Amino acid sequence: MLEYSRKPVKEIDFNDVRIASFVSESDQNIDIDTVNSFGEEWIKFSSFSEEEIKNAGDQYFDIVTEEICNSSSVVLDMGCGTGRWSKYLANRVNFIEAIDPSKAVLSASHLTKDLNNVRVTQAGVDSIPFADESFDFAMGVGVYHHIPDTQKAVRDTVKKIKKGGYLLIYLYYSLDNRGAGYKFIFKMSTIIRKIVSSMPNRLKKITCDFIALFVYLPFVMLARLFKMFSPKGGIWEKIPLSYYHDKSWNIIKNDALDRFGTPLEQRFSKKELVQILESCGMEDVVVSDGLPYWHAVGRKMK
């Protein structure tokens, strides 16, 4: 277990566990409304089955090899949310520090309570409480596109990685590999997102559940139907929301809230993702061609 580089601002007592908190008013690269929104989201969706975690994890970590992440790796889970990625990796690595600036740390602490090699800490990207070059591997899965200055957030994370270490990152894609019709549907959904994300919390959750049922689910069922009759044709993959064809109802509802309930969202092309990583000192960048778009891994220059 790594030592903190400074004393915590406070400690949170939760289920006989003390969670050190380093979040303070001096943190600048943070959108408070978005952090609070995710805190509420991860409290609502605080439980995932082993199958749900493995299903999603196998997709995000498809490009993470044994060389990149192994039994000797000390890992930073940046913006851990419920801690599901820490749980996914726990039996493959030496130790994981899971950090998040929101009250999602309560959910993460509960989900990982039986894992002796995972510690949960409340901290944002401005306040990562560890010395530079402390980690062999870091991951920011679905995190940086919700931070005001994405590139600075990535750079601040890279500082904590040892030379020769690796970073796995997933950023919402700008639909750079999609057609005009798909992009039009997305623009309409963005208008809806801006309205829904500004709603009171309870109404927002109800609205997002409605969207999951009457928008997501019909597209998902259509993708499943097309895949059933033409599994190798690839037509089903062009259907909006086809990514969820093999996802549970719990995941669909969770992601509907994630998509439409979040105040701050940024999107990046495959080229922009590579540029961000390289500008932050990463090399040998590999971008997965598989869903979800785009996730990539890079190595910190020696």
Is position 225 within any domain? yes
CATH of the domain at 121: 3.40.50.150
- Residue 117 is predicted with a pLDDT of 97
Query: What is the mean pLDDT of the segment spanning 18-45?
Result: 89
Q: pLDDT-based confidence at 18, cuts 50/70/90? A: very high
More confident site: 239 or 210: 210
Q: Does 164 fall in a domain?
A: yes
Task: Report the C-alpha dihedral over residues 270, 231, 61, 87, rounded to 10 degrees.
Answer: 130
Least confident range from 39-43, 200-204, 269-273, 294-298: namely: 39-43
Are residues 155 and 127 part of one domain? yes
Residue 199: inside a domain: yes
Q: 28: pLDDT confidence band, cut at 50, 70 and 90?
A: confident
The reply to whether 196 and 140 lie within a common domain is no
Whole-number pLDDT of residue 92? 96
Cβ contact 85:77 at 8 Å: yes
Domain that holds residue 42: 10-173+267-300
Per the domain annotation, does 2 fall within a domain?
Answer: no
What separation, in Å, do the N-terminal and C-terminal C-alpha atoms of the chain show? Answer: 25
Query: CA-based diameter of the chain, in Å?
Result: 59
Q: For residue 10, what are the contacts with CB-CB under 8 A and spacing of at least 6?
A: 21
- d(CA 108, CA 119) in angstroms, rounded, equals 9
Residue 82 sits in the same domain as residue 42: yes
Instruction: Reply yes or no on whether the pLDDT at 72 is more than 80.
Output: yes
The yes-or-no verdict on residue 46 having pLDDT over 90 is: no
pLDDT at 144 over 80: yes
Confidence at residue 212, expressed as pLDDT on a 0 to 100 scale: 97
* 184 and 238 both lie in a single domain: yes
Cα gap 103→37, rounded to integer Å: 10
pLDDT higher than threshold 80 for residue 38: yes
Asked whether residue 235 falls in the same domain as residue 274, the answer is: no
Question: Are residues 126 and 206 located together in one domain of the fold?
Answer: no
- Considering the domain architecture, whether residues 223 and 276 belong to the same structural domain is answered as no
If you ran DSSP here, which 8-state letter would residue 173 be given?
Answer: B
Residue 52 or 39, more confident: 52
- pLDDT at residue 163 greater than cutoff 90: yes
| C-alpha dist (Å) from residue 212 to 4, 127, 154 | 41, 35, 31
Domain membership of residue 4 (yes or no) is no
- Asked if residue 5 belongs to a domain, the reply is no
Residues 108 and 197 in one domain: no
Asked if residue 62 lies in contact with residue 286, where contact means CB atoms within 8 angstroms, the answer is: no
Query: 125: number of CA atoms within 13 Å, CB side?
Result: 28
Same-domain status, 51 and 132: yes
187-194 contacts, C-beta under 8 A, 24 or more apart: 189/259, 189/260, 192/260, 193/259, 193/260, 193/262, 193/265
Q: Does one domain contain both 163 and 289? A: yes
Q: How far apart are CA 85 and CA 189, in angstroms?
A: 28
Within a domain: residue 152? yes
pLDDT value at position 231?
77
pLDDT digits (tens, 9 = 90+) for 242-254: 999 999 999 999 9
Q: What is the mean pLDDT of residues 142-158?
A: 96
pLDDT of residue 44: 85
Of 42, 12, 14, nearest to 113 by C-alpha is 14
The count of structural domains within the chain is 2
Task: Please indicate, yes or no, whether residues 62 and 205 belong to a single structural domain of this protein.
Answer: no
Looking at residue 191, what is its pLDDT?
Answer: 95
Report pLDDT digits (tens) over 189-235: 999 999 999 999 999 999 999 999 999 999 999 999 999 888 776 78
Average pLDDT, the chain: 94
- On whether both 85 and 232 belong to a single domain, the answer is no
* pLDDT tops 90 at residue 1: no
pLDDT at 197: 94
The pLDDT of residue 39: 85
Domain membership flag for residue 1: no
